[in-house]
A and B are shown apart, each in its own frame.
Chain A
């Protein structure tokens, strides 16, 4: 295992079908509160389900439901990707 710090990426960069655990939620004001309220908080596991046909926004699954958010907003969420089992 490498140091987790080095693996950190943003939700925007997570590939379709991959999962990760949120480490920090950035953004500010209304957007940030909305993200927190929808359950996107540190230690939450999220899976990327799909990218919209035009390449934006993305669809993720967390806490047993589907949520869509724009890539620019997803870029403000830092995650630790899960190492996929081979």
Chain B
């Protein structure tokens, strides 16, 4: 049997899914953590699976998440629905419940956070509510793992007995009631033929859900008759069709709550939230605190914990590679295979693994921000800044992480509720200059602008953001012309994050990165190794100046002449930058023969001031490294999309670098 787990965002749905299945799945306090539905085996119930569907507020066909959920229910015919409801916010949560009931699928209501309701002196008459709604109601606390066994038993029994909801009709006598019933009768046959529950079909018909109307195949004459009934309802009731239906549902919920719910006067959790918000979203303190928190996270991730773990891992891999190196030399292995293992495999594994500490540490902090509810506040505080480029405040944190590393930044967009926002944010994060590019900036400023290092750095970071804004405005006008999902977002109460769910997320992200990114990054490093180690006649070369890579660099040189890079060594360095940005500087060191110590002198012989500025501009904007490209491809849903983004970045970089170079020639 298959169950669908449904509920509002922030209702504790993902926590419940974890409790039901024990599977790896993350819980977030930030609206819309679940983007793609996950399926898990239900604990203690044989052959019962449960699908974790996106958190939604309604079954209207407007957002991708709502469509996914509605289509899942209509087309996959789950045997039962487990509808999780936040008991502390019961009115709005039941709004979805009433729509689900109309679908006439066996259903159980899980009243979550009942411990919080009781703790504040409130009560909910579970039996009364069950009788009124016509479905079983089970009080639970997903966070404390209370009532889960009862919920599973109840869900399995209800589905096994195919016990449909006893009630689907929630309207009082009046124009809305008359209209729904008139429409139900008229479309009865069509709905039956399309396999859609009658009442659901009727309300969707009135709300103008074109997809449902198409499924039912209704001819123009009948549509006109139906429209007549609906217009009559609007005239008599004084509310238009959408408001009338919504109002009918909320009216019923209010009456139900009067009968079955004793609300607490003030909840401790809410008072606590208000007190915390007095500081965190304070008019003057909000921005400094946010900047402080982000700086602390960056410092801990990239300088303290992440760097320590990264160094430890790198040292481990180095030591292993030295041991293997000695072993292979002693064995007298063919030098080509030896190089493949040491310079290819070990370097490849090393580069993949080096990202892992940063991802894990970064997501540790991110999931805490998310689960506590702070991320929603960041969106609230920052929304005004991002609105102009067609995004909402929710994209702010992922973009900011881009300053550290593009890989976790792109992975963090998973929390954005609309796929439009998600894609646009992913395309913008590479313009936020990542920390691996700092060595390039440092070396070049030291060589060409020794007195203005800070200014050069500042201009580069700022320039990247400016280009990002320009690109997003372009996208807004072209690819993403659709209206953004409205920014009408719940601000949930602050909650303590659960250790279990944070750890589950870390495990999930680490696994996800290793599994999906490993192949791409690994293959790419092997390709680069091959290009560096062989010449055009496929002979093994000791000097990389004769390698295939240098040959490619020479081929590419004419393309880069308008940017002022006439030398193949520059283009070769740029190509190696695709594996990791740190490689740009080290390649230049090797190819100029100056090493890292005298690199400044080497650079002066390769670059003029104008071409140095152009080079900085190009490295700022051109393709992110292979790990980031793989992550982008993964989140955009296709490796080739990652490649398209990489090419696009190169084109943008080329255009701006050419502009800068031609401009700089006039100045210097």
Mark A residues whose CB is within 8 Å of B: 25, 29-39, 41-44, 50, 52-57, 59, 63-70, 73
Q: How far is the CA of A46 from the CA of B614 in the complex (A)?
A: 55
B89→A64 contact, CB < 8 A: yes
B91→A63 contact, CB < 8 A: yes
A41→B243 contact, CB < 8 A: yes
Q: How far is the CA of A43 from the CA of B246 in the complex (A)?
A: 12
B277 at the interface (CB under 8 A from A): yes
Which of A25, A29, A34, A63 contacts B243, CB < 8 Å?
Answer: A25
B381→A65 contact, CB < 8 A: no
B490 at the interface (CB under 8 A from A): yes
B487 at the interface (CB under 8 A from A): yes
A38→B281 contact, CB < 8 A: no
- What 1/0 flags go to B381-399 for Cβ under 8 Å of A? 1011101000000000000
Q: How far is the CA of A53 from the CA of B385 in the complex (A)?
A: 11
Q: Quick one: given A37-B57, A41-B250, are A53 and B488 in contact (CB under 8 Å)?
A: no
Which of B282-290, B358-366, B573-581 sits within the interface? B282-290
Interfacial chain B residues near A64, Cβ < 8 Å: 88-92, 263
Interfacial chain A residues near B193, Cβ < 8 Å: none
B380 at the interface (CB under 8 A from A): yes
Interfacial chain A residues near B273, Cβ < 8 Å: 66
A68→B491 contact, CB < 8 A: yes
Interfacial chain B residues near A55, Cβ < 8 Å: 384
B residues 260-294 in Cβ contact with A at 8 Å = 263, 273, 277, 281-284, 286-287
A69→B487 contact, CB < 8 A: yes
B490→A30 contact, CB < 8 A: no
Q: How far is the CA of A30 from the CA of B247 in the complex (A)?
A: 17
B647 at the interface (CB under 8 A from A): no
B57→A54 contact, CB < 8 A: no
Q: How far is the CA of A68 from the CA of B28 in the complex (A)?
A: 18
A33→B62 contact, CB < 8 A: yes
Interchain residue pairs with CB less than 8 A apart (15): A25-B243, A36-B243, A37-B60, A39-B91, A39-B95, A52-B380, A53-B283, A56-B383, A57-B384, A63-B92, A64-B90, A67-B490, A68-B376, A70-B387, A73-B488
A66→B491 contact, CB < 8 A: yes
Which of B246, B379, B381, B387 contacts A37, CB < 8 Å?
Answer: B246
A29→B483 contact, CB < 8 A: yes
Which of B92, B281, B379, B384 contacts A50, CB < 8 Å?
Answer: B281
Interfacial chain A residues near B63, Cβ < 8 Å: 30
Mark B residues whose CB is within 8 Å of A: 57-58, 60, 62-63, 88-92, 95, 239, 242-243, 246-247, 250, 263, 273, 277, 281-284, 286-287, 376, 379-381, 383-385, 387, 483, 485-492
Interfacial chain B residues near A32, Cβ < 8 Å: 242
10 smallest CB-CB distances across A and B, nearest first, come from A36-B246, A37-B58, A66-B491, A31-B486, A54-B384, A63-B91, A53-B286, A65-B89, A30-B62, A41-B247
A33→B60 contact, CB < 8 A: yes
Q: How far is the CA of A39 from the CA of B50 in the complex (A)?
A: 29
A53→B62 contact, CB < 8 A: no
Using CB atoms, name the residue of chain A closest to B58.
A37
Q: How far is the CA of A35 from the CA of B486 in the complex (A)?
A: 9
Q: Quick one: given A30-B486, A56-B384, are A50 and B277 in contact (CB under 8 Å)?
A: yes
Using CB atoms, name the residue of chain A closest to B489.
A68
B383→A70 contact, CB < 8 A: yes
Interfacial chain A residues near B488, Cβ < 8 Å: 31, 34-35, 38, 67-69, 73
B284→A70 contact, CB < 8 A: no
Q: How far is the CA of A43 from the CA of B244 in the complex (A)?
A: 12
Q: How far is the CA of A65 from the CA of B274 in the complex (A)?
A: 12
Q: How far is the CA of A24 from the CA of B281 in the complex (A)?
A: 29
Q: How far is the CA of A53 from the CA of B379 in the complex (A)?
A: 12
Using CB atoms, name the residue of chain B closest to A44.
B250
Interfacial chain A residues near B490, Cβ < 8 Å: 38, 65-68
Which of A29, A38, A43, A68 contacts B57, CB < 8 Å?
Answer: A38
Given contacts A29-B483, A34-B57, A41-B246, 11 further A-B contacts (CB under 8 A): A36-B242, A37-B58, A38-B488, A39-B92, A52-B381, A53-B381, A63-B89, A66-B273, A66-B491, A67-B489, A69-B486
Using CB atoms, name the residue of chain B closest to A25.
B243
Interfacial chain A residues near B286, Cβ < 8 Å: 52-53
B487→A53 contact, CB < 8 A: no
Interfacial chain B residues near A39, Cβ < 8 Å: 91-92, 95, 250
Question: Chain B CB within 10 Å — which of A29, A54, A68 has the most?
Answer: A68
Using CB atoms, name the residue of chain B closest to A69.
B488
B92→A65 contact, CB < 8 A: yes
A54→B381 contact, CB < 8 A: yes
Q: How far is the CA of A34 from the CA of B62 in the complex (A)?
A: 9
Q: How far is the CA of A29 from the CA of B239 in the complex (A)?
A: 16
B92→A53 contact, CB < 8 A: no
Using CB atoms, name the residue of chain B closest to A27.
B486
Q: How far is the CA of A68 from the CA of B394 in the complex (A)?
A: 12
- In angstroms, how far is the closest chain A Cβ from the Cβ of B647? 33
Q: How far is the CA of A55 from the CA of B385 in the complex (A)?
A: 11
B383→A52 contact, CB < 8 A: yes
Q: How far is the CA of A53 from the CA of B376 in the complex (A)?
A: 14
B92→A33 contact, CB < 8 A: no
B243→A53 contact, CB < 8 A: no
- In angstroms, how far is the closest chain B Cβ from the Cβ of A80? 16
A33→B58 contact, CB < 8 A: yes
Q: How far is the CA of A41 from the CA of B287 in the complex (A)?
A: 33
Q: Quick one: given A41-B246, A42-B239, A68-B380, are A59 and B491 in contact (CB under 8 Å)?
A: yes
A73→B380 contact, CB < 8 A: no
Interfacial chain B residues near A69, Cβ < 8 Å: 486-489
Q: Quick one: given A32-B242, A53-B287, are A73 and B486 in contact (CB under 8 Å)?
A: yes
B95→A30 contact, CB < 8 A: no
Q: How far is the CA of A44 from the CA of B95 in the complex (A)?
A: 14
Interfacial chain B residues near A44, Cβ < 8 Å: 250
Q: How far is the CA of A22 from the CA of B57 in the complex (A)?
A: 20
Q: How far is the CA of A59 from the CA of B387 in the complex (A)?
A: 17
- In angstroms, how far is the closest chain A Cβ from the Cβ of B392? 9
A53→B247 contact, CB < 8 A: no
